[in-house]
Structure formats: structure tokens, C-alpha cells
Structure 1
Amino acid sequence: MSKNNTMNNLQISTKCIQLGRNSNDQYGFVNAPVYRGSTVIYNTLYDIENRNMKFNYGTSGTPTIENLENAWTELTGAAGTVLAPSGLGAVALALFATTKAGDHILMPDCAYRPSRNFCHDYLEKYGITVEYYDPLIGVDIEKLIKQNTSTIFLESPGSQSFEVQDVPGIVSIAKKYNIKTIIDNTWATPLYFRAHDFGVDISVEAGTKYLGGHSDLLLGMVSANQSTWPALRKAYDGMAMLPGAEDCFLALRGLRTMPLRVKESEKRGLEIAHWLKDRSEVTRVLHPAFPECPGHEYWKRDFKGSTGLFSIILSNEFSKKGLASMLDNFSVFGMGFSWGGFESLIIPFDCSDYRTATKWKPGGLALRLQIGLENLDDIKNDLDEGFKRLRINS
């Protein structure tokens, strides 16, 4: 809808309904069509010599892609957005935009493991030094900065261990040394944490998760502030790493209901997290809204809410055999690595074999849960039966 002049006065749930579409350009239809294509036809010699078309080739984008880019730019408060075929692709784009050979970058020890793998397998191969830091370091990150430090990456909260970072503190140090900051903001989404409002240069999010909402697409979004936008767009144009039209269409459809789904995820996640906290089998709940979660004070200060993904630490009395019996026989929960969809998921994890700046010593087996949209009593009953199997077989 063409109401950009009044969009700033609207609440974010209303923006999610109105952004990325214009019924006047769509013959009155509510949703924008899907544009698929590679070739763009030019009308004159002048046009083709001067690339005088809004989209000069399929890799420069389509109206479908632009609709989603524009919507996400508005939601995040960015200067511009580019899209990638996956969340990891978005991380790669962001890092390519802020680094060059010879640079030193700082990554949090809680980072999504594929992001770590990308740094190790690719950035280091091209002469970029990667150093990992304690995600709870805050302004003391200043001690790690070198003359060639170009980028500080943040992930808040961590995707398995859920440390919440002091984003404003770290950003203040980065700005002091003219260092770029990138954050993986997938867990909170711009509904609960608008990274650019805190001075972050680039915000990366996996649209695979809450934006898509139905576990049927792969997508990454990368938004940048005014000073970093040209470099991000250049990196995007240089690689032509764009997503498919159908995925963008599904993401735009997911955008319309994302505020409702994320709010419901928050409610359900908190209810199950509190229920688990009272279980004798659970020694700790790693949920940013809980005081015992590392960095909770930053969540309380900076975030507008929480979502449906969190972790638990089991009592040290339980064995791997008992865990297998628990996980292998669930009726509601599935074991899967993604999240943000309609289904409840659970995975075991162990950070101890790859962390380098901190030690992962939880004191028991660790599980990450995504709370879906199933009946809450069914979810509790499924977990309760799982805990019975865990006790009996350990």
C-alpha cells in the first residue's frame, strides 16, 4: 500500500500487514504477484548501453524481491536490505561487506556453529584472522582490539547457550575505533530488538525462522545503516547471491502474521520454561527472560520481549542411554535443527568441543527446545513421558 508518508506513525503489527505490497499496482489484488525471471528486455540501444531499466538482469532483483527488501528495511529502521538464500548466506554477505585480506575480526564464542565454520573454512583461508571472545565481555572487548580489527560480530542471545550480550556497550567501543558491527538477530526479530536503533551497522536474520513461520523456506535478510549500506550492496551485487521468487513470496505472506505468531511463541515459551524450571530433572533453564540466564540484565534493559526458543540443563544423574530413550520416543516433539515454525522441536547439544574463549561446563546434558503451536497440555504430557523414560533408562 502506498502510505509511506504515514507509515512511521503506525504500530509494527500494522506495518507488517501493509508493507511490501501496493494494491494499486496489483490491479486491486491484496497480495503482490510472484516475478520469476532472468532476462530483462530493453526497448532501445540507449537503454541497453546505459542499463536504463529498474532491474537490468535477474540477478539485480525483481519486484518480488524488492517488495520484501523494502518491507524489511522499514521494519528494521535500516537504510537498505539485501536478501540471501539462507541465514548462513546472510552471515557470509555481511562479513564479505566489512572485511578484506589482512583484517582481524572478533566473533562471540556463542556464535551459531555454521558461522564459526564459515570463518574458519573461508575467511581464514583468505588471510583474515578470527578471534573468539567471551559473549559476556561487554565493554572490556576494547582489550581485544588490534590495529587491523575491522569487524565485531555479535549474536544475542547465543543460539544454544543463550548468553545475552551488552550490545550498546560493545557498539560504543566499536565506534570509538571505527570498527563495523554485525549482529545475528534471528532469535528476537526486529519485533523485539531493533539492532540499528542501538547503533549496530549490519543486522543479520534468518527468515527461515519466524518470518517464514512454516518450516517450508530458506531465506536470509541483511539490513544495513546508512554508512554501511553501499558496501553491503556492493558485496551482494558482486556475488548475485539472491533467493528464489517463491521463497520471497512465502516470506511476504509470513510477514502478515509474524507479530501474532511471535507473540504466541513468547507466551508458550515462557509457560513451558516455567513448567520445566519446577521439574526435578532440570537444574537450569537458559531463557533470556529468566534471571539465571547469563546476560539477563541486558535482555531486561534492551529487549521488548522473548520468543519460543530456549535451552535446559538436565541433572548430572542422567545418562546418554536415558537421553536416547527420552528423545527417540516423543510423540509431539521432533528432533530437528531449525526452529521458528509451527512445530515443537528438541535437540541435544554440547558446545564443549568447539568453544575456544570460554569453557562450556553445564554440569549435565543440555537440550534446546522450540515450543510450537500444539496444545500446551499435549506438549507437557509429551515432555512428562519423556522424563519418565529418561529416569527409568539412566
Structure 2
Amino acid sequence: MDRMTQLVRSGRDLPTDTRPAAINPPVIKASTVLYSNWEMMQSVRSRRDKGERIFSYGAHGTPTTHFLEDSLCTLEGGDRAFVFPTGLSALATVFLTYTKPGDHVAVIDNAYPPVRKLCDEYFANRGVKVSYFAPNPESLSEVIQSETSLVLAESPGSGTFEIVDLPALSKIAHEHEAILAVDNTWSAGVFLQPLLLGADISVQAATKYLCGASDIMMGTIVCKEACAKHIYDVVTLLGIITSPEDCYDTLRGMRSLYPRLKQHEQTAIELANWLNCQDEVAMVLHPSLPDHPGHEIWKRDFSGSSGLFAFGFTDEFVAKTPDFINELRLFGIGSSWGGFESLALPVSPESIRSCGSWDGPNTLVRIHAGLESPGDLIADLQQALAKISQ
């Protein structure tokens, strides 16, 4: 079946000849799980301790959690999935799983900014060496070491949207016996499947597109079988669990993920092309544009683009970036993205990069194209441009 059909039908309890089933799995809340006898309890716990996913105690998830994990594996083509309270906690778990004092990690320079803080203020102070590499394979080759245990990539990168060659990064990482993890939030697992391109782990902030309503905090890991037991052990040791209500709502949101993403994509492309024609705009950073860095790799590895991109003003107007954002009426000002509402925020590329210089405006406008009418959003951008041009 097509992946769209698979996603609609996955993570469900299907009816049988002897019983019906709800079209959406129920919310099952539990701390204590009862067993018919002591031997059964011992057997279930033994299977659980070996890494098997089984309903055994609330801290290890309930069937509601498991239905969501099944759907995540269908989405990203993985063997095992885990859910977390936030996207950052999912990324932190990857680091905790694959680093110890004396290890080295290589982190792509355009990664989600809190990851840099996590590395510099937590792991570096606990004996883990951290290097940042520019979003290209050559830069990774320069920083990777014999002690490198983990390589973290993000494609496209946060804020500046460079596309990186994941198969090439995978080859370099695996030649050094390192794990390659990829932050795949931008594509929502719909437009990019890192595990099929050589990555070992795909991470998302399900807070964004998977939920789609800007009212849930959640992170996800989907991984290959070789990584599953290692991640499971850390998740179990730390007692990481996500509420079944949030799992239920996220799974329900994923039923409409494909059509929502296509609308976000179409609107963002329309806005990007319109902005690219404005005299006040110096650059538009959107992977679908032919002059975007890594556009050819995007065409090779991605099947589409999401609603997040950025643009920068010419020198004459760049200082008015905050004024422009304040003049917008349909674009909200707020953190995160991926929901039904459009958002606009200023981004400073130099504050989220350390490898190489930045040639564009010192402030960008990061746009998330929501589900409003593209014509209305363009009219809003136009009136805000007119006001700062007066």
C-alpha cells in the first residue's frame, strides 16, 4: 500500500470475527497492571527486561503508547519507536545512550539551538568532547575522530535551511563506527526517511507537525533494530514516559498528516516565490528554490517540503525586521511551528552557527506557513512591507 494509506490504517486495533473495534484505539491509563498469577508476572517482566515491548507497568507505556509507536515506525520505516515528553528530551536521550566520558560527538553546525546548549553546558562539562561541523561531508571528515561515538545531523538546518548529504554522512560515520542520528522534524517523516538513507536514528519534535494543533509537547525516536535495546535501556533507567492522552491525540493528528503537510507545502512555496519577487527582500531560504544551497540534494532525497522557511531583507530594510513582524496581523509571534496557524519570528544566523561566516543579512524572518488562505497571508505580508517602506 501507499505510505499515505499505511499511515491512516496503522496504529489501530482492527475488528475480528468475534469482536468489533473502535476506529481509534482507546486511551488506556494505568500505573498498576494486574496479572492472573505470579508466574505470569515474572514471565512478562523477564520479556520486558530483554527489550520486548509489552504492557507490564504504566512507566513502560500502555497499549495507547504502543499504537502510536507502531504508527511512527510505519511513517519513518523503522523497527522500533519511543515517545518522549519533548523533542529535546528525545535528542538528549540519544546523547545519553551513545556517549560516556571520553567519547567524542560531532554535531552539525545548523542544528536546533538548544542542542548546542545541551552539548556545551551539560555534556562537555561531563567529559564528552564536542565538535561542530559545517553542513557538508567534507567538514564532518575533518572533525570526526577515532573516539567519535555519535554524529548528529539536521536537514534542513534550523534557521538557515541548508540541506546535507545524509548518505555521505552515513558512510563517514559508519567507517568510524559511529551512530548517525538525524533531526527529521522539518519533513515530519513524510518528505524524508533518514533510516532509508543510512541513518541509524530519526528524531522528531512531535510537538510540531505530528500533533498539528500546537497544544501537545512530545518527542519521538524511530530507530533501526540494532539501536532499539540500547535506547530502551536508557529510557527505562530514566523512567521516561509520556501521557496516554497525548499519545492518543498525536496518533489522531497523524491520520491527517499527509493532506496537512501538502497544504503547508503549497502555501509555503507560494509565499516564498512571492517574497522572492519583492524589491525589499535580499534572499529567500527555501529548499525548493533552484538557487537554494543543497537544492539538488533536496531533489534527490526529499519528496517535498514543509511549511517552514526564512527570508532576509536588503541592507536598507534589515534593521526594520522587528517592525515588519510587529505589523503582521495573520502571522502569530510565538515559539515552535507546525500547527495550523502561521508564525513569524526574527532569527540571527550568526547566533546559531560557529563554522564559517554568514554572508546574508544579520537577521532573518523565519516563516511558518499555516493553513490559512495563501492569498490572505500574501496580503498580510504585502501590507507589512508597505508600512516599513514608508
Structure 2 equivalent of residue 121 of structure 1: 121
Deviations 1:268-312 (A, max 9, x none): 111111011001111111001112222112111111111111000
Structure 2 equivalent of residue 279 of structure 1: 278
Following TM superposition, by how much is the alpha carbon of 1:390 offset from its aligned partner in structure 2, in angstroms? 1.8
2:98 and 2:292 map into 1 onto residues whose CA distance is: 31
Q: SS in structure 2 opposite 1:221?
A: strand
Structure 1 equivalent of residue 328 of structure 2: 330
Deviations 1:72-92 (A, max 9, x none): 112211110111111111111
2:244 and 2:201 map into 1 onto residues whose CA distance is: 24
Following TM superposition, by how much is the alpha carbon of 1:388 offset from its aligned partner in structure 2, in angstroms? 1.5
Report the residue type matching 1:388 in the other structure. Answer: A
Matches within 5 A, 1:357-376: 357-376=355-374
Structure 2 equivalent of residue 7 of structure 1: none
2:208 and 2:10 map into 1 onto residues whose CA distance is: 19
Deviations 1:176-222 (A, max 9, x none): 12111000011112211111101100000111111111111111110
Report the residue type matching 1:348 in the other structure. Answer: P
Structure 2 equivalent of residue 270 of structure 1: 269
User: Does residue 46 of structure 1 match 2:39?
Assistant: yes
2:55 and 2:385 map into 1 onto residues whose CA distance is: 56
Q: Is the 8 A contact 1:83 1:90 kept in 2?
A: yes
Matches within 5 A, 1:125-274: 125-135=125-135, 137-274=136-273
Following TM superposition, by how much is the alpha carbon of 1:382 offset from its aligned partner in structure 2, in angstroms? 0.7
Following TM superposition, by how much is the alpha carbon of 1:358 offset from its aligned partner in structure 2, in angstroms? 2.3
1:278 and 1:103 map into 2 onto residues whose CA distance is: 48
Following TM superposition, by how much is the alpha carbon of 1:355 offset from its aligned partner in structure 2, in angstroms? 2.3
Following TM superposition, by how much is the alpha carbon of 1:56 offset from its aligned partner in structure 2, in angstroms? 2.0
Number of corresponding residues: 381
User: Does residue 67 of structure 1 match 2:81?
Assistant: no
Structure 2 equivalent of residue 102 of structure 1: 102
2:190 and 2:321 map into 1 onto residues whose CA distance is: 35
Report the residue type matching 2:195 in the other structure. Answer: H
2:120 and 2:20 map into 1 onto residues whose CA distance is: 50
Deviates more, 1:197-206 or 1:329-338: 329-338
TM-score for both structures, normalised by structure 1 = 0.93
Report the residue type matching 1:155 in the other structure. Answer: E
Structure 2 equivalent of residue 299 of structure 1: 298
1:306 and 1:324 map into 2 onto residues whose CA distance is: 26
Q: Is the 8 A contact 1:348 1:368 kept in 2?
A: yes
Change beyond 3 A, Cα 1:20–1:156: same
CA-based RMSD: 1.6
Deviates more, 1:36-45 or 1:378-387: 36-45
Q: Is the 8 A contact 1:315 1:365 kept in 2?
A: no
Change beyond 3 A, Cα 1:34–1:75: same
Change beyond 3 A, Cα 1:171–1:257: same
Following TM superposition, by how much is the alpha carbon of 1:64 offset from its aligned partner in structure 2, in angstroms? 0.5
2:121 and 2:34 map into 1 onto residues whose CA distance is: 40
Deviations 1:10-37 (A, max 9, x none): 1011011100011328843211100112
Q: SS in structure 2 opposite 1:223?
A: strand
Q: SS in structure 1 opposite 2:36?
A: coil
Deviates more, 1:19-28 or 1:347-356: 19-28
Q: SS in structure 2 opposite 1:235?
A: helix
Following TM superposition, by how much is the alpha carbon of 1:376 offset from its aligned partner in structure 2, in angstroms? 1.5
Q: Is the 8 A contact 1:316 1:365 kept in 2?
A: no
Report the residue type matching 2:157 in the other structure. Answer: G
2:95 and 2:74 map into 1 onto residues whose CA distance is: 22
Q: Is the 8 A contact 1:139 1:170 kept in 2?
A: no
Deviations 1:302-346 (A, max 9, x none): 1111111100011111253x3333222321011112111111100
Q: SS in structure 1 opposite 2:272?
A: helix
Structure 2 equivalent of residue 33 of structure 1: 26
1:45 and 1:257 map into 2 onto residues whose CA distance is: 43
1:29 and 1:147 map into 2 onto residues whose CA distance is: 52
Q: SS in structure 1 opposite 2:189?
A: helix
Structure 2 equivalent of residue 19 of structure 1: 10
Q: SS in structure 2 opposite 1:186?
A: coil
1:339 and 1:294 map into 2 onto residues whose CA distance is: 22
Q: SS in structure 1 opposite 2:149?
A: strand
TM-score for both structures, normalised by structure 2 = 0.94
Structure 2 equivalent of residue 4 of structure 1: none
Following TM superposition, by how much is the alpha carbon of 1:143 offset from its aligned partner in structure 2, in angstroms? 2.4
Q: Is the 8 A contact 1:164 1:288 kept in 2?
A: yes
Deviates more, 1:184-193 or 1:48-57: 48-57
1:139 and 1:243 map into 2 onto residues whose CA distance is: 39
Structure 2 equivalent of residue 309 of structure 1: 308
Identity of aligned residues (%): 35
Change beyond 3 A, Cα 1:348–1:297: same
Change beyond 3 A, Cα 1:225–1:49: closer
Q: Is the 8 A contact 2:345 2:365 kept in 1?
A: yes
1:147 and 1:23 map into 2 onto residues whose CA distance is: 49
Following TM superposition, by how much is the alpha carbon of 1:47 offset from its aligned partner in structure 2, in angstroms? 3.1
1:298 and 1:79 map into 2 onto residues whose CA distance is: 26
Structure 2 equivalent of residue 3 of structure 1: none
Q: Is the 8 A contact 1:287 1:310 kept in 2?
A: yes
Q: Is the 8 A contact 1:314 1:364 kept in 2?
A: no
Q: Is the 8 A contact 1:107 1:132 kept in 2?
A: yes
Deviations 1:345-373 (A, max 9, x none): 00001021342222234135311000111
Q: Is the 8 A contact 2:349 2:362 kept in 1?
A: no
